[in-house]
Amino acid sequence: MKRVFNFSAGPSCLPLEVLETAAAEMTDYKGSGQSVMEMSHRSKVYEPIIGGTESLVRELLSVPENYDVLFLQGGASTQFAMVPMNLKKKGRAAYIDTGVWSDKAIKEAGKYLEVDVLATSKDRAYSYIPAVKTVSGGYDYAHITLNNTIVGTAWQDIPECGDIPLVTDASSCILSGPLDVSRFGIIYAGAQKNLGPAGVTLVIIRKDLVTGETVPGTPTMLNYKIHADNDSMYNTPPCYSIYMMGLVLEWVKRNGGAEGMLKRNREKAKLFYDFLDSGRYYKGTAEKESRSLMNIPFVTGETDPEKAAALNKKFVAEATAAGLVNLAGHRLVGGMRASIYNAMGLDGVKALIAFMEQFSKANG
């Protein structure tokens, strides 16, 4: 069967050559006579896999030496709790609410400390990023969601936080371009958007924040120091997902690294946003100054709710039949959404635009 163009928000498409390499090595990894799925995480065969993946993370993101790179489990959602459990000192944290995932992070953190929501974009359905330039006060940390998958917004200017550690959920934009790691105390990201398949969560944490001093009752597995001291091998790590991440990172490196990804992603996003902005039938829902390069929600011009819902359903069904899959908008916002992460090529965006033009002529 011909491969489809997968616009899923996650798990998302992976580079074809990565999948082909994994397929070729599935039953025999580099002459070891075994699959990576089978081998011990403490074996001499696996050691260079996890070590090499960490080295690539450090190289591609220019991670300073005073940061630990961890491969954890539980997704970004577990980090919603792990961050306050490990960083609580005075008992107050600052959050900026820019969407569903930041709201979830706020609610989870509220179980462990006092949360001040400094700004929110909920008043306009999270269609923009609030203008927060600086964060000050007696906070243990400040938290932002760097890219908002559901509503298609992204931070363009990261707030200055002084001595307050800035924590970010970068799940849906990690390695979509260069990122100044030194601006952050913690960067965490679920792999299933830009880094590989679901199952591993990348955490980049400044070493001075890895104290081992946690909220009373914190489970051992939710203590950053435990994982840092054991090189992400306190227990069996998600071995195969880490291997796949390594393959993806090698692909990123071959294609120009973070700068190469930024050029690639800007080209795709410009093409699609220009199409949305030039036509009368479709429009993007995120405000222009806050638009994401990764996730682009859009709607048709139909204003009647029932007719719009039926038209959206028809669009998604016909797109799927045309080999353009996972274009339904998130259930909380409706409409459609094209997620165009690193692995989505320009050809996929062009194919989507061609279909959208055809659909508008038939239904406009």
Of 157, 174, 349, 176, the residue nearest 260 (C-alpha)? 176
The answer on 351 and 217 residing in a single domain is no
pTM of the predicted model, to two decimals? 0.97
Provide mean pLDDT across the span 115-122: 98
- Could you tell me if 245 and 282 lie in one domain? no
How many CB atoms lie under 10 A from the CB of residue 82? 26
pLDDT at site 299: 96
Task: Report the pLDDT value the prediction gives residue 280, as an integer from 0 to 100.
Answer: 82
Indicate the angle between helix axes 257-278 and 239-254, nearest 10 degrees. 80
Active site residues: 101, 169, 193
Is 27 in the same domain as 147?
A: yes
342 within 8 A of 175, measured Cβ to Cβ: yes
Distance CA 199, CA 191 (A): 7
224 and 181 inside one domain: yes
Separation CA 7–CA 297 (nearest Å): 11
Q: Do 149 and 140 form a contact (C-beta atoms < 8 A)? A: no
The reply to whether 33 falls in a domain is yes
| Boundary of a domain, candidates 223, 254, 285 | 254
Is position 5 within any domain? Answer: no
Specify whether 246 is located in the same domain as 343.
no
For residue 361, what are its two tokens? Answer: 């002529």
DSSP-assigned letters across all residues of 34-77: S-TTTS-TTSTTTHHHHHHHHHHHHHHTT--TTEEEEEESSHHH
- Does residue 11 have a cis peptide bond before it, meaning omega lies within 30 degrees of 0? yes
- Report the candidate in 308, 327, 309, 307 with the shortest Cα–Cα distance to residue 317: 327
1, part of any domain: no
Q: What is the pLDDT of residues 311-348, one digit of tens each?
A: 999 999 999 999 999 999 988 788 999 999 999 999 99
Joined together, the tokens standing for residue 37 give: 């799925």
CB under 8 Å to 225, separation ≥6 — which residues? 210, 211, 212
Give me the domain span that covers residue 129: 16-254
Residue 208 domain-assigned (yes or no): yes
In this prediction, residue 55 has a pLDDT band, given cuts at 50, 70 and 90, of: very high
Question: How many domains does the chain fold into?
Answer: 2
pLDDT of res. 335: 94
- Nearest-Å Rg of the Cα atoms of the chain is 21
CA angle 103, 10, 311 (to 5 degrees): 90
| 193 in the same domain as 271 | no
Q: Are residues 229 and 295 in the same domain?
A: no
Q: Are residue 284 and residue 344 in the same domain, yes or no?
A: yes
pLDDT tens, position by position, 197-230: 999 999 999 999 999 999 999 999 999 999 999 9
Whether residue 99 is contained in a domain is answered as yes
Domain annotation covers residue 8: no
Do 270 and 230 lie in one domain? The reply is no
262 and 189 assigned to the same domain: no
Residue 153 lies in a domain: yes
pLDDT single digits (tens) 261-309:
999 999 999 999 999 999 889 999 999 999 999 999 999 988 898 999 9
CATH assignment at residue 146: 3.40.640.10
In a domain, 7, yes or no: no
